[in-house]
Amino acid sequence: MSDPKKFLIVGAGLSGVCVAIQLLREGIDVTLVDDGKNESSVIAAGMINPLVFRRMTKSWRVDEFLPYLIDFYTKLELETSASFFSEVVIRRLFSHEQEGDFWLDKQSNSEFENYMFPISEEDTQYAKAINLFGSGRVKNAFTVDARPFLESAKKWISERGSILFETVDYPQLDETCYKGIKYDTLVFCEGYHNLSNPWFGDLPINPTKGETLTISSENLPEDESLNRKCFVLPLGNKQFKIGSTYVWETPKAETSEDGKKEILENLSHLTPENVIVLDHEAGVRPTIRDRRPILGRHPNHPNYTIFNGMGAKGYMLAPLLSREFVLHLLIDQKLDPEVRVERFYLGR
């Protein structure tokens, strides 16, 4: 029997750990390297919302992503005896009358019945938040508690493969050799740090800063996640995570007074309460203008590959996309054309 293929993965945020898990499940030898500067996956609220409220549409490929991610996260919870994945009801407080009409229109469409509870009298009269135009509740929404998820995933990986805690300096890579060991394939999952990658750094991965607050509130509901202008995710003990901001072209995970002000201003459209701010965090999302991730091989160095650009929805996209990516690398299964890296190389 030949030796298993060896893969080196650079970056152990959500993307890197998902790719590592998929490869290890296929019996591949995996080394994962991370420098611990995780500034996105660990900051994320981990919300998985099947709807896009702005246009009242379904999120891209949600019918495929949801069943897969439910299996993926619950299986990992069972295997690591951890708890990080849960269902949550998102209550959208409509921003204007028309939004309520859009909802009413969609709720009777079979395409949406998995994702919308029909509006009830109680939703229209909802009084636990400022309610100007009624509200609707989202079905099949979930949250991943980012820190315990990443810890559990890394523990699972270290029991089956290797994790190194260091920065991969690009000159240390000699073709596919790293520190004297030869790998069949390198996978770059560097989040916005991809900007300085010599092979993939020209791809349009936009560093989009986001800030969140953890607050304490006496009046906000703890049984649902409110949403209008911002999300309010209950954490228990009258604490909530709220956010987030979007600042393009900002590769710095620094909190700011402007960010805090913006989030609190947005919250004031849901509650008049003067909440207490307990914590303030910032991260940088790897975002693509066309809102599709970037997956595939380098055109001139086919052993160098990329899995990046998860944007604002990584916790929904990464489980199934990492599976499709690994099948692409191992058995040449075709990738969804919308995520292929080649879309940026056409015409060059």
Residues that bind ligand FAD (CB under 6 A): 10-16, 33-35, 37-41, 43-47, 167-168, 189-191, 193, 210, 212, 243-244, 283, 285-286, 308, 310-316
- 80 vs 308, which CB is nearer to ligand FAD? 308
Least Cβ distance, residue 208 to ligand FAD (angstroms): 8
- 103 vs 315, which CB is nearer to ligand FAD? 315
- 33 vs 56, which CB is nearer to ligand FAD? 33
For 177, residues 6+ apart whose C-beta sits below 8 A from its C-beta are 183
Least Cβ distance, residue 129 to ligand FAD (angstroms): 19
- What gap in Å lies between CA 325 and CA 272, rounded to an integer? 46
- 135 vs 212, which CB is nearer to ligand FAD? 212
Least Cβ distance, residue 18 to ligand FAD (angstroms): 8
- What gap in Å lies between CA 117 and CA 102, rounded to an integer? 14
3-state secondary structure 258-304: HHHHHHHHHHCCCCCCCCEEEEEEEEEEEECCCCCCEEEECCCCCCE
Least Cβ distance, residue 179 to ligand FAD (angstroms): 13
Picking from 222, 214, 53, the residue whose alpha carbon sits closest to that of residue 128 is 222
Which residue bears the tokens 């019996």?
Answer: 27
- What gap in Å lies between CA 111 and CA 58, rounded to an integer? 9
Picking from 191, 222, 187, the residue whose alpha carbon sits closest to that of residue 206 is 191
Give backbone dihedrals phi and psi of 201, rounded to 5 degrees, phi first: -65, -15
Least Cβ distance, residue 204 to ligand FAD (angstroms): 15
DSSP assignment string, 194-241:
GGG-TTTTTS--EEEEEEEEEEE-SSS-SSSEEEESEEEEEEETTEEE
Which residue bears the tokens 């989202």?
Answer: 138
Least Cβ distance, residue 259 to ligand FAD (angstroms): 10
Strand partners, 129: none
- 134 vs 230, which CB is nearer to ligand FAD? 230
- Residues in the chain, total: 348
Which residue bears the tokens 């800063």?
Answer: 209
Contact 320, 339 (CB under 8 A): no
Least Cβ distance, residue 336 to ligand FAD (angstroms): 17
CA atoms in the 13 A half-sphere facing the CB of 207 = 18
Least Cβ distance, residue 17 to ligand FAD (angstroms): 8
- 134 vs 226, which CB is nearer to ligand FAD? 226
- 31 vs 212, which CB is nearer to ligand FAD? 212
- 104 vs 195, which CB is nearer to ligand FAD? 195
**In the chain, what is the straight-line distance between the N-terminal and C-terminal CA atoms, in Å?**
42
- 133 vs 280, which CB is nearer to ligand FAD? 280
